Structure 1
Amino acid sequence: MSSTHWSIRRDIALFSKGDIALAVVLTLGTAFWGDLFDDGTVRPVATTISSLGLTLPVVLRRRRPLMMLAIVSVAGLVQCAVVPGPTAALLAVPVVAYSVARGVDGTSSRLVLVCGLIGAIMGPLRWLDSPHFSAGNVSQGSLFGMLFIMCSTAVLVPYLIGRRLRENDIAAQERARAEIQRYEVTLAAREERARSTEARVRNDIARELHDVVAHSLSVIVVQAEGGKALAQRNPEGAGEVLDTIAETGREALTEMRRIVGVLRAGPGNAEYAPQPGLADIPTMTGRAGERLDLVVTGTRPAVPASLELTAYRVVQEAVTNFLKHAGPEAHCRVDIAYRPDAVEIVVTDDGLGARAADDGEGNGLRGMRERVVAMGGQVSAQPLPTRGFQVRALLPLDIDHLNVGYLDSAPPFGSR
């Protein structure tokens, strides 16, 4: 059974207790008084029964308001016929008018006004004809007018109050529905943002794939060339080189497989591997061989995974460029300084520098700059004055306090 249904049943049960109490109070307080102007000639049984017909149906005022109106209207007509004067049970009429106005929609609620108008005419006419009702010095017409106004007011005023409260309830429900609609719109916008984020992440994964392939293949090529020369002088050392090539190839294939799996799989179906970070830099640079030195100063801080990945990719791209362009006799030094406010990376080699071959089609340095700028950092990459090449990057731990741009007004990047 739905929660809405249980809520309705709970509300009905709560209202029924109050309605029963109200009906009991009206019945005990008014139904047994008889005709207010009775001199003993009116039959008390008829008066009591018709009065019960006016008060007892109040128990239905929330569950069946129109049924209550029908029963009270019939009882009122019967009382008008058998009882010559008004009774205390007529106090139930304002309750009936209010209940119908509060609980019934639209045109149907106006039935209580029709019934009230009929009662406001027939009741006073019946009472004026009764020998027990004395008008004193007031004319019959004036007395009828006063009685008509009193009876009409007893119906109209509770009806207007009930309608006003019902309109307030409807307005509150409309506001609640509007809140729900706004919430649904918010959810839809959130889902749209999630889809946009997913698309952006997939594009980032594609860029990761490019970085993995470029670096891994560069390491493999360099190690293979060195291993070929080493195989003649030191066969055992050549075996270590082959192990490095195999390990690099396996790791590259594993990462490529998972990245491609993310691109192909739907949301929630892909397996994600941990992204490389600062702790993985020594392993990555170690594969470049003896021509590369890594120097780390300071204590590695706890930083967001995105910043760790950016630092890793900066070093990876710089080392890849060194392996591709610096020449076979060049050496490289990677300095990583963990400062209180930033991570500083400097990669310097003594290779060909500006004399290195460049086909103009590379995107590695451009991608490096995009990564660093996205972290609020600064970066430069340029040939040194004499020979060699240097990459410098500053990644702030608090990106709100550093400007984004080039270090030392460095010239624009090449396509290296």
Structure 2
Amino acid sequence: MSKVDVLFPPGATHRDWAADGILAVSLTLLSIVPSYVFPAQGADYLAVVTFFSAAMTMPLVLRRHSPLLMLALVTVGGVWQVQVFADPTLSLISVPIVAYSVARWVPGPMARSVIVVGAVGAILGPLQWFSRYNENLSFYVLFWGACLGAVLTPYAIGRRAREVADARQTQVRAAEERYRLLLAEREQQARLSEASTRTMIARELHDIVAHSLSVMIVQAEGGRAAASRKPEVAAEALDTIAETGREALHEMRRIVGVLRAGPDEESVSYAPAPTLEEIPDMVGRTSDRIRLVVEGNPQPVSQALALTVFRVTQEALTNFLKHAGPDATAVATLTYSATCITVEVVDDGTGVDDPTDGGGNGLRGMYERISSMGGTLSAGPRSDGPGFRVRAVLPVRESTPHRPVGREGTQR
């Protein structure tokens, strides 16, 4: 703490000025009124009493704004009184107030200066005023103790009040810091939640748009090739394109409805989320170069798990359409068991570049989906021949803890 803060403690207000001024004037009047009501000597003596009493009490106006300056002025006034008056005056009532004020408002060791000044005054005052009445040592010791107690007691009270105020201020600062940290934590949680929501939306949009457009492109190319030879095949391709577009539009409306729903509103859904029973139909509309193999019987699972299986299968087929080549074929195998659901898509393509490739967003989305359900994913070239293999294993148990996905695959 700087010297300025010690001499002029911060925090004093205009209200403190008014309260201290009223206190100083009141004590001044209290100390001089008896001399005017019961005059013992002439007018000159009354003027001297008024002056030296005011010298002891009026500095109390600085009690809150500059306690050490108040102490210095009162000390000077006390020295004058010891020299001028043969008996103590009522203005000495300011001494306990000075001791309390210094202890309460002056920080650190400087507050102890009032004890030193008070101890010296407790010796000099009784020695000057009572030596002519009684020379008994015990009499002096009694008065010395009383005068010293008038300094030490309010000093102890003032220091205790300061400690309590400091502790309360420390608690307030700690509460403010906790509140600030809480706000920062909530802001961080909001950012994480926002990032998670953006990732989920991006994943849904990619899965819906990429798959639908891939199917539409394949069907359009096939329909164009068959238009001259087999018009009925071209018509079927157009029907598939229309149906795929309608389904994509339904899915887009569902996502937009979720985004527009307020925090207290129910989620808007224009179409139910895809289920396990819709996977065969989705595979059939995707391409006639894909064969679906189902092992086991689908069991009732949570909507989140069913959506994950559907999207993983959809993205694996999209990956096949975009990269395997126009003459490649694929086998999609769904294996249902009591503990897990396995999705495996294997093709025999050579791997071609697609100018509409999303830079690996499809595989990244699959990793994220499967990781959230506690499953594992492997994706990469086949070891037993040309082509690509995608294999995902998703546990059926709802209590399965989430664990990091083993990234065994490579970007295609």
TM range (shorter): 0.5 to 0.7
Alpha-carbon distance between aligned partners in 1 of 2:271 and 2:111, rounded to the nearest angstrom:
70
State how 1:148-297 maps to structure 2 within 5 Å: 148-201=144-197, 203-205=199-201, 207-208=203-204, 210-212=206-208, 213-226=210-223, 228-230=225-227, 244=242, 275-276=255-256
- Which amino acid counterpart does residue 55 of structure 2 have in structure 1? G
* Structure 2 counterpart of 1:24: 25
CA distance 1:320–1:242, shift in 2 (3 Å): closer
Shift of residue 246, structure 1, vs aligned partner? 12
User: Any idea what SS the aligned residue of 2:86 has?
Assistant: coil
Distance 1:314 1:211 in 2: 16
SS of match in other structure, 2:116: helix
Work out the CA distance in 2 between the residues paired with 1:310 and 1:145: 97
1:309-364: CA deviation from partner (whole Å, max 9, x where unpaired) = 9815989976543323666999xxxxxxxxxx999x9x9xxxx9869984399979
**1:17-416 → structure 2 map (5 Å cutoff):** 17-34=18-35, 40=41, 43-129=45-131, 134-135=133-134, 139-201=135-197, 203-205=199-201, 207-208=203-204, 210-212=206-208, 213-226=210-223, 228-230=225-227, 244=242, 275-276=255-256, 303-304=266-267, 311=273, 320-324=282-286, 358-359=346-347, 370=370
TM-score by length of 1: 0.58
Deviation at 1:20, TM superposition (A): 1.8
- Give a deviation string over 1:108-144, Cα, whole Å, max 9, x none: 11111111111111110110245xxx34xxx431221
| Deviation at residue 238 of structure 1 after TM alignment | 9.2
**Alignment CA distance shift 1:81-1:102 (3 Å):** same
| Residues 1:83 and 1:360: Cα distance change in structure 2 (over 3 Å) | farther
Structure 1, 100-109 or 234-243: larger mean CA deviation? 234-243
State the 1:60 CA deviation. Answer: 1.2
Q: Is the 8 A contact 1:317 1:365 kept in 2?
A: no
Distance 1:47 1:360 in 2: 116
Gaps of 5+ in 1: 1-7, 256-272, 279-301, 331-340, 375-401, 406-416
Partner of 1:286: none
Contact 1:60 1:67 in 2 (8 A): yes
RMSD: 5.0
Inter-CA distance 129–274: structure 2 relative to 1 (3 Å threshold): farther
Distance 1:104 1:240 in 2: 90
- Separation of aligned partners in 2, 1:128 and 1:372: 91
Mapped partners of 1:93, 1:403: distance in 2: 78
8 Å CA contact 1:23, 1:59 repeated in 2: yes
Task: Sort the Cα spacing of 1:274 and 1:323 in 2 relative to 1 into closer, same or farther, 3 A.
Answer: closer
Q: Within 1, Cα distance between the matches of 2:77 and 2:188?
A: 62
SS across alignment from 1:84: coil
Corresponding residue of 1:411: none
Quick one: which amino acid aligns to residue 322 of structure 1?
G
Cα deviation for residue 155 of structure 1 reads 0.8
The answer (yes or no) to whether the contact 1:317–1:368 under 8 Å persists in 2 is no
Contact 2:118-2:151 at 8 Å conserved across structures? yes
Amino acid at match of 2:182: T
Q: Do 1:57 and 1:72's aligned partners in 2 also have CA atoms closer than 8 Å?
A: yes
Q: SS at the partner of 2:255?
A: coil
Residue 152 of structure 1: how far off its partner (Å): 0.6
> Does structure 2 conserve the Cα–Cα contact (< 8 Å) formed by 1:98 and 1:161?
yes
The CA distance in 1 between the partners of 2:138 and 2:11, in whole Å, is 50
Where does structure 2 lack aligned partners over 5 or more consecutive residues?
1-8, 259-264, 293-301, 311-330, 335-343, 350-361, 375-396, 401-412
Superposition deviation, residue 56 in structure 1: 1.0
Q: Give the corresponding residue for 2:313.
A: none
Q: Distance in 2 between matches of 1:47 and 1:164?
A: 35
What percentage of residue pairs aligned between the two structures are identical? 31
Q: What's the CA shift for 1:367?
A: 7.6
